[in-house]
Amino acid sequence: MFWCFVGLEAFAHLSTEFCNPERDFPRALMIGMPIAGIFYWGCTVAILQLNVYGNDIAPTSLLLSIVADLFGSEWIYWGACLIGYLACFASVNIYTQGFARLVWSQAAPGSRLGRLSRAQVPLSALSAVVPCSMFVAC
């Protein structure tokens, strides 16, 4: 959740993806930041109020332990796991796309990395960024 909240600088590189960037980008920012902030604040309050920190639970599973204790249902637990995974995936997706846009914008004019597809997507830059990211992750 932290990277979803502070990852908005990567979001700026994607402003050209909006149909009307002048109108839609500020709206997305002004709606998305408070939602992410409130959710982040709520999760922090829940961890502190329920006093689940500092014990034998790994810090990465504090929210899941709260969900398990509050609801007791295995389906809800796995639903929370799926939501967490999707939130992490969304953050990685935004960073990858934002980095590809950054590479595209910094590429020399006329170079392969500086080209856009018919759909105005920097496929060459994205094709360079993804393998490099996978190599670094391994």
| Number of domains the chain contains | 1
Q: Provide the domain limits for residue 79.
A: 2-137
Task: Classify 6 as helix, strand or coil.
Answer: helix
Structure tokens belonging to residue 113: 């990395």
Q: What is the CA angle 16-96-38, rounded to 5?
A: 80
Residue appearing with tokens 């950054």: 102
Instruction: Summarize the confidence of residues 41-64 as an average pLDDT.
Output: 78
What is the dihedral angle through the alpha carbons of 118, 92, 130, 82, rounded to the nearest 10 degrees? -100
Could you give the angle at which helices 21-49 and 62-71 cross, rounded to 10 degrees? Answer: 70
Give the pLDDT band (50/70/90) at residue 17: confident
Instruction: Summarize the confidence of residues 11-35 as an average pLDDT.
Output: 80
In this model, does residue 125 exceed pLDDT 90? Answer: yes
Give the span between the Cα atoms of 6 and 94, in whole angstroms: 12
Structure confidence by residue, pLDDT tens digits, 85-103: 888 888 788 888 888 988 9
pTM: 0.68
Give the pLDDT band (50/70/90) at residue 50: confident
Residue appearing with tokens 């709520």: 42
Give the pLDDT band (50/70/90) at residue 10: low
Whole-number pLDDT of residue 5: 56
Q: How does the average pLDDT of the chain come out, rounded? A: 82
